[in-house]
Amino acid sequence: MEWKISETGRPAPGDIERRGNKLLISNGYIGYRGTLEEFNRDQKTATIVSGLYDRVAHLWREPVNLPNGGFVQIGYAGELLHVLTSKVIDHSQSLDLQHAVHERQTTFETSDGTRITIRSRRFASLARRNLLCMEFSVSADRACEIDICTGIEGNVWDINGPHLTALAAREQKGILSVSAVTHENAIQIAVSEAVVLPSGRNRVYGQGAQLSAASAFREFRVALVKDGFTFHKIVAHAFGLDCEDPLATSRQLCRQAAGVDFETLLAEHAALWRQRWENCDIQIEGDPAAQQALRFSMYHLLAIVPAHTARASIPARGMSGQMYKGAIFWDTEIFMLPFFTHAFPRLARNLLLYRYHTLDGARRKAREYGYRGAFYAWESQDSGDDACTLFNVTDVFTHRPIRTYFRDKQVHISADIAYAFWQYFTLTGDASIWIEGGAEVIFECARFYLAYIYYNPDRRRYEILDVTGPDEYHERVHNNAFTNRMVAHTFEVCLKVAALLRQHSRGFYDGLMEALCFESDLAAIAQIAPRVFQPDSAVPGTVIPQFDGYFTLENVSLPTLLGRKLHPTEYFGGGSGLATTTQIIKQADVVLMLSLFSERYPTETKSANWEYYESRTEHGSSLSTCSYALIAAQLGKVDWAYQYFMKTATIDLAGEAKQYVGELYIGGTHPAGNGGAWMSAVFGLCGIHCVDLCIAINPHLPAHWSKVTLPIICQGQMLRITLTHEAVTVLPVVPLEAQLSVSVEGSVHPLDPTAETTFPYHAWQGAENGLENACRAEIASTGFDRVHGEPCES
């Protein structure tokens, strides 16, 4: 169970979408939903390619769903065997998390009582990123003939399509292909399928292609004997951004792979996945459910990360479809990136550099709104231009679009990116990130806020006005505590990065300053940075107002507010939403700030704010629960932390997240929730925080977790940490190249560069406070040019 996710029984209507999300396979280049081979657009089959977007007319721009090469349909004596319409004796579908293989087994009973069983295994090859590889078997309880139709279904699910034009189906030397061009930018795409039939006792009749405008199928009849019949499919996907001739490329990739044994293809794929798990698997003893949920969360993050490029990132719904426009939000930087930074720094680097490659889009957006610098897209796609529309939700009462301010006012996005760059740098020490684009990103983000900020002459402070913070139910507020803190932090990071570069890379620094004309802006930032208003109180234990006037809003309970609903999916935010005029918030906002800037706030403040906001949070976003888990753990509220950890870790396992907002479908996977699960476990329950050259460890293990073992990479050094209720053990996986130390219960101990060290501790009950600070040092002191081991995949 700990490595396997299974679903059994004929899927009910709601199950189809849920399983499609949950059992997704992907290699970060192509994603294939966990649907069944005989499914079509009605069951939301989807093959999503990373970084390929298209727009039709005024509709939303969204990922292209490629023709479905995974299609197989079995027939028996004129009867099509389909899990939704045939008599099903037994059905199961599962996902092998360890090797990223989807498996399926179904036994049908035909009208004449014949029991026919089909089995399939499929994976999106991590070794050959264009390929979906499938093994398909059919057997029966008596000798019979089976009709098999396999091929490429071109009539695919689209939310705002159709995105493909000039669809053409072809057959060449046994390889079926469907090619097309995208609507907006005429990018060529092609999907090809090769079938490898067994040499054996089965007789195969009449193999031939059936080509329609959009689809290419091959049909053949098989005489089944006792062992059944097994064949393999290779589906290759190619598109014009990555190669010159997608049709030829996809055919060639098919042909090449068809010459390789399926088990070999699977082995090379599985080996890479096992290597990934070496870097990140967390073993929890005593809690199989948590073990499964956490692995499931990491699986999804690993599956969809675009390991092959620094020009794509992870969309908010991963590779599970066209939902949320396939767009990259702050989800990646704030909720997913920590997992990668601590386990796969090079992948984290890729994700960050995507923001450098889309910097021009952010500059265009800033200019569009009359600002300088980089105002990153709220919904970023390939170019960095904002895919977010001004009307993102439809009113359920009038069916009119609702004006939302996600695009215009969630200005914290640029600061989120700056925060992520800085986190990456302080955790890895990788200063090359600044040279290779990071500094330019940071400077332009800071410049944006310099243009956005206002000075209040009466209060003698700088303010950030008219923004939407993380809590999207309250749009266009002033001095959102989270945003103001993030902006001040961006200014601080800007000044630190400038200082580092000036000291260590003078030539680059001078060139960049000149290229960006940044000298006077930098001086202004230095002057303004310490004067950005923070609505924090100097008195510990004070509840921080989420924004100006928050406490004047109606102080209603969440159940009361929910009781006012007139429609099950009515939107709570916007100009007329139920929550808008109340203190009920969509998701962690102040509490997220407390978790991101944990070291700046005393326990009393965390406690007061957690208590206040927890009861006022709807958790209408998958980004919400992990912040409450993290702060709960720090406060010693282990039960709460565990509950919120499990909530975020099971978000796609249980599949109970919102499917609709207003009339908008927002289903799909929740990678930010997955990243939140990792943070809740590692930062929260395990209490592990890497701070420069020190690992602070303050475990808050649930009572039933007898032992936790996990690898973590700090400053390029991989450590294996084992926690029990009595001791912390740290083992360098490879000999340490830098002197790291460990802080347990506030005492700092240097690590032995090669040997395991154990630190006993007394199961710690109270709230954590300032323990991280014990080993915090100015980043400048960690040196700038350290060379790092890079243990993760290339």
Unique residue bearing structure tokens 């029991």:
115
Check residue 451 for interaction with a copy of itself (CB under 8 A): yes
Q: Can you read off the two tokens belonging to residue 771?
A: 């323990």
User: Is the CB of 205 or the CB of 397 nearer to a copy of itself?
Assistant: 397
Q: Which of residues 560-619 bind a copy of itself (CB under 8 A)?
A: 566, 574-576, 580-581
What is the SS3 assignment for 255-294?
A: HHHHCCCHHHHHHHHHHHHHHHHHHHCCEEECCHHHHHHH
User: Is the CB of 403 or the CB of 776 nearer to a copy of itself?
Assistant: 403
Segment interacting with a copy of itself, rule: CB under 8 A, options 47-55, 68-76, 179-187, 458-466: 458-466
Determine the residue type at 606.
K
Structural contact between residues 593 and 559, judged by C-beta atoms closer than 8 angstroms = no
Instruction: Work out which of 466, 618, 745, 790 binds a copy of itself, going by CB under 8 A.
Output: 466
User: Is the CB of 205 or the CB of 391 nearer to a copy of itself?
Assistant: 391
Q: Can you read off the two tokens belonging to residue 218?
A: 């091959």
The rounded distance, in Å, linking the Cα atoms of 583 and 556 is: 7
- Residues 390-409: x where in contact with a copy of itself by CB under 8 A, - otherwise, as a string: xx---x-xx-x-xx------
Instruction: Work out which of 66, 323, 427, 450 binds a copy of itself, going by CB under 8 A.
Output: 450
Unique residue bearing structure tokens 């053990």:
729
Check residue 760 for interaction with a copy of itself (CB under 8 A): no
Q: Can you read off the two tokens belonging to residue 513?
A: 């300053």
Q: In angstroms, give the least distance from the CB of 360 to a copy of itself.
A: 21
Segment interacting with a copy of itself, rule: CB under 8 A, options 19-27, 248-256, 321-329, 367-375: 367-375
| 554: annotated active-site residue | no
Check residue 372 for interaction with a copy of itself (CB under 8 A): yes
The rounded distance, in Å, linking the Cα atoms of 110 and 342 is: 52
Q: In angstroms, give the least distance from the CB of 516 to a copy of itself.
A: 16
* Cβ atoms within 10 Å, residue 345: 26
User: Is the CB of 554 or the CB of 656 nearer to a copy of itself?
Assistant: 554
Structural contact between residues 441 and 417, judged by C-beta atoms closer than 8 angstroms = yes
Q: Can you read off the two tokens belonging to residue 570?
A: 């009515």
What is the SS3 assignment for 439-460?
A: HHHHHHHHHHHHHHCEEECCCC
Which of 333, 472, 570, 768 is an active site residue? Answer: 472
Instruction: Work out which of 203, 274, 476, 704 binds a copy of itself, going by CB under 8 A.
Output: 476
Segment interacting with a copy of itself, rule: CB under 8 A, options 216-224, 228-236, 457-465, 675-683: 457-465
- Count the site residues for a copy of itself by CB under 8 A: 33
Structural contact between residues 21 and 121, judged by C-beta atoms closer than 8 angstroms = no
Check residue 457 for interaction with a copy of itself (CB under 8 A): yes
User: Is the CB of 552 or the CB of 794 nearer to a copy of itself?
Assistant: 552
Segment interacting with a copy of itself, rule: CB under 8 A, options 194-202, 319-327, 364-372, 745-753: 364-372
Check residue 367 for interaction with a copy of itself (CB under 8 A): no
User: Is the CB of 531 or the CB of 725 nearer to a copy of itself?
Assistant: 531
Q: Which of 208, 89, 72, 93 is nearest to 138 (CA)?
A: 72
Check residue 661 for interaction with a copy of itself (CB under 8 A): no
- The DSSP symbol for 599 reads G
The rounded distance, in Å, linking the Cα atoms of 590 and 484 is: 11
Unique residue bearing structure tokens 């939302």:
404
Check residue 465 for interaction with a copy of itself (CB under 8 A): yes
- Which residues, in sequence order, are bridge partners of residue 120? 104, 136
Check residue 455 for interaction with a copy of itself (CB under 8 A): yes
Q: Give the HSE-up count for residue 619: Cα atoms under 13 Å, Cβ half-sphere.
A: 17
Check residue 458 for interaction with a copy of itself (CB under 8 A): yes
User: Is the CB of 394 or the CB of 432 nearer to a copy of itself?
Assistant: 394
- Residues 406-445: x where in contact with a copy of itself by CB under 8 A, - otherwise, as a string: ----------------------------------------
Structural contact between residues 678 and 302, judged by C-beta atoms closer than 8 angstroms = no
Unique residue bearing structure tokens 């907002």:
661
Q: Which of 114, 113, 132 is nearest to 124 (CA)?
A: 132
Q: In angstroms, give the least distance from the CB of 499 to a copy of itself.
A: 22
User: Is the CB of 129 or the CB of 447 nearer to a copy of itself?
Assistant: 447
Check residue 453 for interaction with a copy of itself (CB under 8 A): yes
Unique residue bearing structure tokens 């992948």:
347
- The DSSP symbol for 743 reads E
Q: In angstroms, give the least distance from the CB of 393 to a copy of itself.
A: 11
Peptide bond into 11 cis (omega under 30): no
Instruction: Work out which of 528, 593, 646, 649 binds a copy of itself, going by CB under 8 A.
Output: 528
User: Is the CB of 368 or the CB of 752 nearer to a copy of itself?
Assistant: 368
Structural contact between residues 166 and 51, judged by C-beta atoms closer than 8 angstroms = no
User: Is the CB of 87 or the CB of 372 nearer to a copy of itself?
Assistant: 372
Q: In angstroms, give the least distance from the CB of 457 to a copy of itself.
A: 6
The rounded distance, in Å, linking the Cα atoms of 178 and 67 is: 7
Determine the residue type at 718.
M
Q: Which residues bind a copy of itself (CB under 8 A)?
A: 370-372, 390-391, 395, 397-398, 400, 402-403, 450-451, 453-458, 463, 465-466, 476, 478, 524, 528, 548, 566, 574-576, 580-581
Catalytic positions are 472
